[in-house]
């Protein structure tokens, strides 16, 4: 409810709670616009910001999937960055940003991610997204995405949550000239 008061959705969001499942790689996931799955293991202090994160995905997908034939690696990076920014906005004292954010600009890590920015979603993008593979730190794209979105918000301090959520990911990335951090 708190998330939807900050970022209204065009449609209702269904949250389905299932028993813990070892075959499902996440405690929570958005499987489309208005569709969130939660595998109940425990409702700890990450539950609320996790729900805000997944809610943002749900609203984002409701807008962007209607416009796009497919999602690129860059779409995924910005999507995760916006979701982390949103959970931080909704629950500033509960989010897990401290565990995700790496303030450094590691050129070696970026060189592994950059070739996938224009790629269509596939297994390589999943590896990039989750991190911990191919020499990337865990949650690498969440951290990079957050830094991209934070840079965009610094350029546009008056922008609303809806405006930055619905902004085109490529325009966000290009406007902040994020690649300059690695040159």
Q: pLDDT value at position 176?
A: 97
Contacts 24+ apart (CB under 8 A), 74-77: 74/117, 74/118, 74/169, 74/170, 74/173, 75/121, 75/169, 76/121, 76/125, 76/128, 76/129, 76/141, 76/145, 77/113, 77/117, 77/129, 77/141, 77/144, 77/145, 77/148, 77/169
d(CA 79, CA 46): 19
Residue indicated by tokens 């028993």? 19
21 pLDDT higher than 80: no
Is the pLDDT confidence value at 126 over 80?
no
- Residue 116 CA to residue 124 CA, distance in Å, equals 8
What pLDDT does residue 90 have? Answer: 95
Q: What is the pLDDT of residues 132-165, one digit of tens each?
A: 667 788 888 889 999 999 999 999 999 999 999 9
How confident is residue 168, by pLDDT bands cut at 50, 70 and 90? very high
Bigger pLDDT: 55 or 31?
A: 55
- HSE of 22, CA atoms in CB hemisphere, 13 A: 0
pTM of the model: 0.87
Residue 41: pLDDT over 80: no
Quick one: what percent of the chain has pLDDT higher than 70?
87
Of the candidates 64, 61, 76, the residue with the CA atom closest to the CA atom of residue 128: 76
């Amino acid at each position: 409810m708190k998330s939807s008061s900050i970022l209204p959705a065009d449609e209702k969001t269904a949250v389905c709670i299932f028993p813990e499942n070892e075959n499902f790689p996440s405690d929570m996931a958005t499987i489309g616009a208005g569709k969130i799955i939660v595998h109940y293991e425990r409702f700890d202090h990450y539950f609320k910001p996790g729900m805000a994160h997944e809610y943002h995905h749900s609203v984002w997908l409701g807008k962007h999937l209607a416009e796009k034939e497919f999602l690129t690696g860059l779409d995924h990076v910005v999507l995760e960055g916006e979701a982390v920014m949103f959970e931080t906005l909704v629950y500033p004292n509960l989010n897990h940003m401290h565990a995700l954010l790496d303030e450094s600009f590691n050129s070696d890590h970026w060189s592994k991610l950059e070739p996938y920015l224009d790629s269509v979603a596939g297994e390589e993008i999943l590896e990039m997204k989750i991190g911990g593979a191919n020499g990337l730190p865990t949650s690498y794209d969440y951290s990079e995405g957050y830094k991209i979105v934070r840079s965009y918000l610094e350029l546009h301090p008056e922008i609303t949550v809806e405006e930055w959520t619905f902004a085109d990911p490529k325009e966000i990335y290009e406007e902040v000239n994020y690649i300059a951090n690695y040159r």
